[in-house]
Amino acid sequence: MSAVDNAINSIKDRLSQGIFDWDVSHGDLKSINNTLADLSPSERNDVIAGMSDAELENWAGEIHGSLGSLSADERQTLFNKLAEGLDAEQMVRMVAAFDASGNPDSIRELGAAVATHGSPEAKQAFIEAMAGRTNTGDAHFDPEPTHRNDVTDKLLADPDALAVAEVLASLEGEYFDDAWNALSDSQQASVMQAGIGQAETSSRNGNITNFDTTLAGRIVDAAASSSDPNVKADVFELASEKLAVVQGGGDNGAVPFEVGTDSRNDGARDTLANSMTTLINTDVNAIVARLEVVDHDGSALVTYVTEQLAAGREEQVGELITKVQKGDDLQGDPATRFIETDADGQYANAHNLGYLMGAVEAGVRTVTDDRVAQAEMVRDIFGGALKIAGLPGGGPAASGSRTGVDMLSDQIIDSIVEGYEEDGAKLSDVMYELGYPTDANGDPVNHPGAEAVFKSQRGHVLDEN
């Protein structure tokens, strides 16, 4: 008899009950753990495959049984061993067994094991099996005392969405894409909500909201490994929605939001925003183009840019402008790219640049209405754009081969910004003068079609934000 057959028979014997053996003991369950631990991962998969659904359900129920349940550490050891070996089909069967036995905690514990020990196929199967459970109305739960938010009364997250979030964050590339696309819009939102660790604490002095965005940041980092700009943009947009929740202090009695002044959640905001920066810089132009489609009003970019500016990361905003003008490889000519048309005859680059510049200006206005502070912010944004372009601060204005951002210099930026500080110029005019591409003579690119698209898109984002 094979090791697999022996293991199946041993497990069935330990789970059997009769008049003289009327409950499965703790010793029985530990024996099953030991039996599985002695097998190879593939053999463990064969054991699960060799058991019926009813037998798996019976076992799942006993793991949290009335007399002899496994301890938390023993359960995790078991789940780690299962996660190491189960293929997609058997993973789905185990999730169904725990579901049928009424032990949702075990499903979440299994998810934690799958995230660290499972194969990519098993992880994807776990997410697909759990998708329908992520938004079933469990808007919050009380975490265990060992949870990272152990001082809270409740965590605003669906507990099953939290399990899915852990597994999703452990995937890469096409496996991440497939798992993300297996979730509906509302399920994706529930998973990302679980990722921001929104914890509500009530006390005699009022209600306090805290956040831990580590898990959401890991999901965004995982999305950065994707080669699909649609997936990247969708994750970016949803992450931005959750960043706005953190910026606003949550829904339950937080300190009123004022960008850059409420330091309680600075760490949570930085964690998520930094991951978003990594993500968008993997494919700036394609992500911005997709955002314009799924978030036409530009709220996602505005939220992100606002956070960047409030945190003093103007240079990173300038990097986006440079990459949209010159291309992600920084090798393109801004003036030429600006008037190029795509296969549909659209001025796609002009469209994207207008969308981005509207978001940047809206971000500046959101952070502060002080003219001096705005001027410094604009100076640092375009100083960053100049730096990313790889140009010396002395400026290349004398070169007849340069256009757009490549024509900038510290002196040109200072001259334009000082005009805003001292002469009462409009912020919109300053942002337009610095962000609109110029030709080799330093004059604004004269192309009515591209210019109209740029102005329209920029104006729409500003009107909506």
Helix ranges (DSSP H) in 142-264: 159-168, 173-181, 185-195, 214-223, 229-247
Local confidence band at 257 (pLDDT 50, 70, 90 cut-offs): very low
Average pLDDT estimate for 304-333: 95
Instruction: Tell me: pLDDT of 201 over 80.
Output: no
Nearest of 229, 312, 221, 212 to residue 274 by alpha carbon: 221
**Most confident residue range from 7-21, 123-137, 443-457:** 443-457
Extents of the domains making up the chain:
1-118, 283-465
Question: What pLDDT, in 10s, does the model give residues 424-439?
Answer: 788 999 999 999 999 8
Range with lowest mean pLDDT among 72-86, 97-111, 157-171, 270-284: 97-111
Q: CB neighbours (10 Å) of residue 96?
A: 16
Local confidence band at 139 (pLDDT 50, 70, 90 cut-offs): low
Average pLDDT estimate for 256-274: 74
Q: What do you get for the CA distance between the two ends of the chain, in Å?
A: 71
Q: CA–CA separation, 411 vs 400, rounded Å?
A: 18
* Tokens describing residue 204: 């005699």
Instruction: Tell me: pLDDT of 120 over 60.
Output: yes
Range with lowest mean pLDDT among 175-179, 279-283, 290-294, 436-440: 436-440
Share of the chain above pLDDT 90, in %: 63
- pLDDT of the residue at 255: 41
pTM higher than 0.85, yes or no? yes
